[in-house]
Amino acid sequence: MGKDAISNHIRNLRFHHNEMTQQQLADKAGVTRQTIVAIEKGNYSPSLELAFRIARVFGKSIEEVFQYDDKQ
């Protein structure tokens, strides 16, 4: 299921942003809470479009929010 090539710092970023809840992040990113849960837990990685929107919520670059973990 989780291919796990992509990890992220969403959970930490939420807490550094006024204790933003999953629901609040979901609303700002324009997706459902389930999508945030799944991405935050690493069940799957977001589309590029959603990655842009999430990064924008935190005022960060995509690379600062998501990491591509190389499997060589």
Site string for DNA, 40-69 (x = CB under 7 A): xx--xxxx-xx-------------------
Could you give the CA distance from residue 40 to residue 54 in angstroms, rounded to a whole number? 11
> Of 20, 26, 38, 62, which one interacts with a second copy (CB under 8 A)?
62
33 to each of 22, 61, 63, how far by Cα in Å? 6, 22, 22
53 makes contact, choosing from a second copy, DNA, none, with CB < 5 to 8 Å by partner type, with a second copy
- Which residue in 36, 45, 31 sits closest to 13, CA to CA? 36
Instruction: List residues near DNA by CB under 7 A.
Output: 3, 14, 21-23, 30-35, 37-41, 44-47, 49-50
